[in-house]
Amino acid sequence: MNYLLQQIINALGYGGVIALLAAGYTMTFGIINLVNFAYGEVFMLGAFAAYFCINIWNLPFWLVFLIGIAASIVVGFVIERTTFKPVRGADMVTLFITGLGASIVVRNLAVMIFDDRLKSFSLPDFLKGLHSLGDILLFNKTIAIVLVTLVIGLVLIYLVKKTKIGIAMRSISYNAQMSKCLGMNSEKVIIITFIISSSLAGIAAYLQGILFGSIQASMGFTAVVYAFIASVMGGVGNIVGAMVMGYFLAIGGNLFIAFLPPDLVGLKSLFVWGVFFLILIFRPSGLFRANIK
Amino acid sequence: MKNPKVIYSLVKYIVGAASVILILFVLDTYLSGFWHLLFLLFGINIILAISLNITNAWIGFFSIGHGGIMLAAAYVTAFLTLPPSFKNGIINLHLPSFILNTQFPFLPALLIGALFGTIIGVILVLPALRLRSFYFVTGTLGFNIIMMTIAENIPKITNGPMGLRQFPDYTNIWWVWGVAILLIYLGLKLKKSYIGRAFIVIGKDPDLAAHMGINLLKYKTYAFALSSFFTSIGGILWVHLILNLFPKAFGLGFVFNVVAMIVIGGMGSISGAVMGAAIITCFTEVLAPVEEGFSVLGLSFPPFLGLTTVLLGIFLIVILITRPQGIMGEKEIKLDFLKRFLKERIKLGRTG
């Protein structure tokens, strides 16, 4: 029982990272039907910006955090303007290939420039250390990540439900044509959505760095696959659903390999894809209600 | 044999086949080294591009999971064609002894591998029944990753991430271009036949196709079987050219190249696929030395690993933005003018 609980607690940190990514992913997915595989690269470059701030300029952690977010926003914005804007309105497969192409270009550039070795990412002092509750170990960084995720989740829900921009986003996701007819500046709303989702990627990138203590130029792909599957399972455009499913995928993946024999640990990705196929075959609209709610 | 039309078509086929064999013979004798490799890769890319074209363009199910099919077929063939000394040399390879101690000739091994690949490929029809557009694309991506993960994690059968080596050098111009030309011919014929047109209608509008009495399940299965059969052959030939096989060989990068071929050449066009294969092959092979670092005029450049992939991706995005239908669209290069020219010559000869 303790073993089980420990596995679940271990997964909470990664669950937070995936939940944030899935929330950001599902926003652009819901609003312009974009399967944005380049989102993983936004995430990865945010992590690299934070890495350089720590290792070259020795900046304090809050500044590193903010610069990571700013870098993600810039990267996300540039990718949106240069690749997705010109193909907007094309069919979904074209959008998919464009996103995949952009992702492969940016990832290979990053591997070329920064190489693909693990880069160590230092933890701020106040997050070091751990608590022990009986046999169960609880790291301070895990607690911090879960708290950050919860706060951001609440902020996002407030943003989408109560503010003007949130209402605009929801209306575009329900019916883009009608919102345009009613005089909404849909281009502006799309840009703001991209900025919000990129900043979520930046936050997730910093959290990933402090969680694993290392980052890698090719880490974006796994993360974006998790985020995509979580957003499909949570219902496209549903932020709460995506975040819950992000946690579910991380915890489920950990439990899956916890009960496998040790020489089959590499099969972890089978769990995610297995769940994905099951969901798509039995509940194609996701477990929660679709559209930004 | 009295009918002039029969004689005309017979002559056409004999002349065509003879000239193809002659050209291949000349190329086989005179090409060597880099150019020989380039020509072989070009042929393999044609096979892969046309077979991907059947599912992705004609029947409208955009698959990026053909790497998984190639991987399965290549491993099955590898067990049959690897020399027994190599198979017995790996200690943790637990295969039945009759496989360990035999070495098949290429043709049966190729056919068994391709048949196995076809069976794996038909599995992809299952998601194609329920999933549409990018859900299917992501599903095939998952299929590719699953196949790769399985191959990595059963070292008793596949030797794990270490991979297999010491393949016999079976791939030559005759195998590659024989299959490639057969496939080009088959593709062009298929496009005008009932089956091919049924494929294209399913791609354009599945509901309309169902209303016209086309059995969707049957034709989807046909398309996936045909596509995965030839994709498997392409993958097997590639492995016997590169001479090693490891689980990540047919990853997303490999499939992305093939996707780029058909998108650049034009989705749904055989001649477009051939053109795309030519462009991408030249592109990747010419830039390969740049990737490994070079020096010009005393300046030495560091290696740019992954440069071709980056440039290829940029090229693909530019094509998708400026000319989404590709070079050829859905059209083919017609040889009608040649036919008309010949007919006029024959008529002139008869009258004059």
3-state secondary structure chain A: CHHHHHHHHHHHHHHHHHHHHHHHHHHHHHHHCCCCCCHHHHHHHHHHHHHHHHHCCCCCHHHHHHHHHHHHHHHHHHHHHHHHCCCCCCCHHHHHHHHHHHHHHHHHHHHHHHCCCCEECCCCHHHCCEEEECCEEEEHHHHHHHHHHHHHHHHHHHHHHHCHHHHHHHHHHHCHHHHHHCCCCHHHHHHHHHHHHHHHHHHHHHHHHHHHCEECCCCHHHHHHHHHHHHHHCCCCCHHHHHHHHHHHHHHHHHHHHCCCHHHHHHHHHHHHHHHHHHHHHCCCCCCCCCCC
Does residue A291 fall inside a structural domain?
A: no
Angstrom distance (rounded) from CA B204 to CA B287: 37
Residue A108 is nearest to which of B152, B306, B320, comparing CB atoms?
A: B306
**Predicted structure pTM score:** 0.88
Q: At B338, which amino acid appears? A: L
- Residue B253's SS3 state is helix
Does residue B80 fall inside a structural domain?
A: yes
Does residue B206 fall inside a structural domain?
A: yes
Does residue B9 fall inside a structural domain?
A: no
> What is the domain extent for residue B169?
51-251
Does residue A145 fall inside a structural domain?
A: yes
Distance from B79 to chain A by nearest Cα, in Å?
23
Contacts of A102 in chain B (CB under 8 A): 313, 317
Please judge whether B142 and A273 are an interchain contact, meaning their C-beta atoms are less than 8 angstroms apart.
yes
| DSSP H/E element including B296 | strand B294-296
Please judge whether A266 and B305 are an interchain contact, meaning their C-beta atoms are less than 8 angstroms apart.
no
CATH of residue A112: 1.10.3470
What are the backbone dihedrals phi and psi of residue B331, each rounded to the nearest 5 degrees, phi first? -80, 165
Does residue A288 fall inside a structural domain?
A: no
Q: How many domains does chain A divide into?
A: 1
Whether the CB-CB separation of B287 and B308 falls below 8 Å is answered with: yes
Does residue B268 fall inside a structural domain?
A: no
Does residue A244 fall inside a structural domain?
A: yes
> What is the domain extent for residue A47?
2-282
Angstrom distance (rounded) from CA B309 to CA A8: 39
By C-alpha distance, the chain A residue nearest B314 is A105
Residue B278: the pLDDT is: 93
Q: How far apart are the first and last CA of chain A?
A: 37
Contacts of A105 in chain B (CB under 8 A): 309-310, 313-314, 317
Token pair, residue B290, equals 């740049």
What are the backbone dihedrals phi and psi of residue B301, each rounded to the nearest 5 degrees, phi first? -100, 140
Distance from A162 to chain B by nearest Cα, in Å?
32
Does residue B302 fall inside a structural domain?
A: no
Q: How many domains does chain B divide into?
A: 1
Per-residue pLDDT of chain A (293 residues; tens, 9 = 90+): 788 888 888 888 899 999 999 999 998 888 877 888 899 999 999 999 999 888 888 888 888 889 999 999 999 999 999 988 888 878 878 888 888 899 999 998 888 888 888 888 888 878 788 888 777 888 888 888 999 999 999 999 999 888 999 889 888 888 888 888 988 888 899 899 999 999 999 999 999 998 888 888 888 888 999 999 998 888 888 888 899 999 999 999 888 888 887 777 778 888 888 888 888 878 777 777 666 54
Interface residue of B123, B135, B257, B317 to substitute, partner A, most A CBs within 10 Å: B317
Here the ipTM equals 0.87
- Residue B299's SS3 state is strand
Please judge whether B138 and A112 are an interchain contact, meaning their C-beta atoms are less than 8 angstroms apart.
no
